[in-house]
């Protein structure tokens, strides 16, 4: 019979957790003796006299970038736009930090024999050959959220400037002319704006333009209509967007599919009053077609920050008074540059210490999807809990991933699980690089199992293993709600609903009256405060599990007293600090 549900069910995406099959009891094993583990110090281990890793900064970055790198590296500088200087400087570099002017292509990667990570202090990766880097075993990282506010604000600024003819009016006034009637503009209020690409920047633009009293429609084939509706945005196809929009703002990455997406045929469907803004990537809007539409009055104006070829200082578009243009300033704010530099500096530190880098775009040849990333720290904690429950290194470990995230590459969750499993077993630092090796050295077979079917949760991660005596250990977790709160939802076949806090305990015993009170009394006498408690059982009078989160670690003496008092078949104290 499956274990009874505890009171207060965990919910994620409107789905309640369901029963699981009990794995069976275990013989008493004392908790593992754990060494103290504070926050991971992300530093590169150095032997006395060893040379520090070389970090090459190939473009101007904020001073905060160097500060964030810290003293563990030899910092060198080069002009990345000077090809010969770049190739000479990168030859013995362990990491390179760039912005948009330095091209890290197959040639540069072939020269860089020691290179481990390419860090782009920004969002786009047009100047980095990610495929060649992956083939060379070089990690590529960027700062995907560093400039989203700056880019969104610039797009709105370009829209306002084009709508009110700010640039030509300014030039006219500087020339001594006062021509108010010539520069009559239009309001954004009660107009329709079409957002092409409802990603992070597109969403910020939509939010800001909604505040202007605009009706927001969007084209994005990868966004669900329900999600858009929650933001007050109506999803339409591109043809409808062009036909209905008074203003249009492009926020797509440049790919083979999006290059030339807005061309002559698309602009022919637009209103003559359309003001088009592109602050995303050059080449998404066909510049020749845009020039013709503006010149012939088939659309009203444009605001441009990006161009098909950059630097761009000579374009027929610059001759038109109904065009306001800037030299790719989307990320050019002090705040964005500082955030980008700090983000990639932290990523470089993680990469050179063998840790998983959240902003890596090529881990084991694949991209870490946004939907998968929140599950990484949860899975690592599940690995530590698994080892604590097992009391030994398992012979076989299955990392089971169920639900919607199996649409993506979830290989990184297997690495996260192994890192957690061995974190408290070996004295040395465990990383995402050496965790599989540690498993192989200890004869632990590991399997990653995925299944899109997850009847109880939107997504569920389970670690299930076989010990030397043939017994089974399992622990499952999920992320709950909009804030993605971590929850443990199953332990050895028992349903629970517990936050994975720093100090946990799991007690298995025969169900009978008074046991919970006994546990509470012993912990109270030891001055240990209970933060949360779950009781689950397979049947009345059968096996029961108490899952505890406590404010401080339970000492060996208190744990032994509990074990004796409730005649526990298993007691486990787990420290996640």
Residues forming the active site: 281, 310, 328
Q: Which of 108, 74, 110 is nearest to 94 (CA)?
A: 74
Alpha helices per DSSP H over 18-80? 63-69
What is the Cα–Cα distance from 304 to 275, expressed in whole angstroms? 11
Alpha carbon 482 to its chain centroid, in Å, reads 15
Report d(CA 86, CA 78) in Å as an integer.
6
Cα dihedral angle (263, 268, 269, 271), rounded to 10 degrees? 110
- C-alpha span between 47 and 450 (Å, rounded): 41
- Longest pairwise C-alpha distance within the chain: 94
d(CA 416, CA 11): 24
Dihedral pair phi/psi, residue 152, rounded to 5°: -65, -45
Enumerate the H helices of 164-252 as residue ranges: 166-174, 200-210, 225-230, 238-244
Cα–Cα distance, 410 to 482 (Å, whole number): 21
Q: Are strands 472-480 and 459-466 parallel, antiparallel or unpaired?
A: antiparallel
Q: Are 389 and 473 in contact (CB under 8 A)?
A: yes
83: which residues sit within 8 A by CB, 6+ positions away? none
Q: 443 and 429 in contact (C-beta within 8 Å)?
A: no
DSSP state of 104: B
If residue 35 lies in a helix (H) or strand (E), which one and from where to where? none
């Amino acid at each position: 019979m499956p274990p009874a549900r505890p009171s207060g069910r965990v919910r994620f995406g409107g789905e309640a957790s369901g029963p699981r099959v009990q794995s069976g009891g275990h013989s008493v094993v004392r908790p593992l003796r754990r060494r103290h583990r504070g926050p991971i110090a992300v530093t590169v281990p150095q032997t006395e006299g060893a040379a520090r890793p070389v970090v090459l900064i190939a473009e101007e970055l904020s001073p905060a970038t160097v500060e964030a790198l810290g003293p563990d590296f030899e910092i060198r500088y080069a002009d990345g736009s000077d090809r010969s200087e770049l190739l000479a400087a990168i030859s013995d570099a362990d990491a390179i930090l760039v912005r948009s002017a330095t091209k890290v292509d197959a040639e540069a990667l072939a020269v860089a024999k020691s290179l481990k990570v390419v860090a782009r202090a920004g969002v786009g990766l047009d100047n980095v050959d990610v495929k060649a880097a992956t083939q060379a075993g070089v990690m590529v990282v960027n700062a995907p959220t560093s400039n989203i506010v700056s880019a969104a604000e610039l797009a709105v600024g370009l829209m306002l400037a084009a709508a009110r003819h700010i640039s030509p009016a300014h030039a006219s006034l500087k020339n001594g002319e006062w021509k108010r009637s010539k520069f009559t503009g239009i309001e954004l209020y009660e107009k329709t704006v079409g957002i092409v690409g409802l990603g992070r920047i597109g969403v910020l633009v939509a939010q800001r333009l909604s505040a202007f009293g605009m009706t927001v429609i969007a084209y994005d084939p990868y966004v669900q209509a329900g999600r858009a509706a929650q933001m007050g945005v109506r999803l339409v196809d591109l043809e409808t967007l062009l036909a209905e929009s008074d203003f249009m703002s492009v926020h797509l990455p440049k790919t083979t599919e999006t290059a030339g997406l807005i061309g002559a045929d698309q602009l022919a469907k637009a209103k003559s009053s359309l003001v088009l803004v592109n602050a995303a990537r050059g080449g998404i809007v066909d510049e020749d077609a845009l020039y013709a539409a503006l010149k012939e009055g088939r659309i009203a104006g444009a605001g441009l920050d990006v161009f098909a070829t950059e630097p761009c200082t000579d374009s027929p578009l610059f001759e038109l008074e109904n065009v306001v243009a800037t030299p790719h300033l989307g990320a050019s704010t002090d705040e964005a540059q500082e955030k980008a530099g700090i983000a990639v500096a932290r990523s470089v530190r993680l990469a050179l210490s063998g840790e998983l880098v959240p902003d890596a775009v090529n881990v084991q040849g694949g991209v870490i999807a946004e939907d998968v990333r929140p599950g990484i720290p949860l899975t690592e904690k599940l690995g530590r809990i698994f080892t604590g429950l097992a009391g030994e290194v398992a012979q076989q470990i299955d990392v089971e991933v169920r639900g919607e995230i199996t649409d993506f590459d979830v290989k990184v969750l297997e690495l996260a699980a192994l890192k957690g499993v061995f974190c408290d077993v070996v004295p040395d630092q465990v990383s995402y690089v050496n965790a599989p090796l540690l498993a192989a050295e200890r004869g632990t077979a590991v399997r990653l199992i995925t299944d899109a079917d997850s009847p109880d949760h939107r997504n569920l991660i389970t670690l299930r293993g076989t010990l030397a005596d043939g017994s089974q250990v399992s622990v499952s977790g999920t992320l709950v709600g909009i804030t993605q709160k971590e929850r443990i939802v199953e332990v050895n076949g028992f349903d629970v609903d517990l936050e994975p806090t720093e100090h946990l305990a799991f007690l298995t015993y025969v169900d009978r009256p008074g046991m919970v009170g006994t546990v509470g009394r012993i912990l109270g006498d030891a001055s240990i405060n209970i933060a949360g408690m779950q009781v689950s059982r397979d049947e009345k009078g059968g096996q029961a599990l108490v899952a505890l989160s406590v404010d401080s670690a339970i000492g060996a003496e208190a744990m032994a007293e509990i074990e004796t008092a409730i005649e526990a078949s298993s007691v486990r104290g787990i420290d996640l600090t």
